[in-house]
Amino acid sequence: MDDTPVRLTEEERKRRRIRSIALALTLGALVLLFYAVTVVRLGPAVLDRPL
């Protein structure tokens, strides 16, 4: 097995950073979307319940 560590070039590092940011933004957008969908599906009363 080749144990040589992978050295990324500056360009590869930049591309990886952009991919990571895009993934984070996508996940954030999904959280907001699922929140909105849940409120719409169950109605605003879902937030108004006895603790």
Residue 42 binds other proteins (CB under 8 A): no
Between CA 27 and CA 11 the distance in angstroms is 25
Residue 31 binds other proteins (CB under 8 A): no
Residue 33 binds other proteins (CB under 8 A): yes
Structure tokens at 50: 């006895």
Phi and psi at 25, nearest 5°, equal -65, -40
Among 24, 28, 31, 37, binds other proteins (CB under 8 A): 37
Q: What is the binding site for other proteins (CB under 8 A)?
A: 8-9, 11-12, 15-16, 18-19, 22, 33, 36-37, 40-41
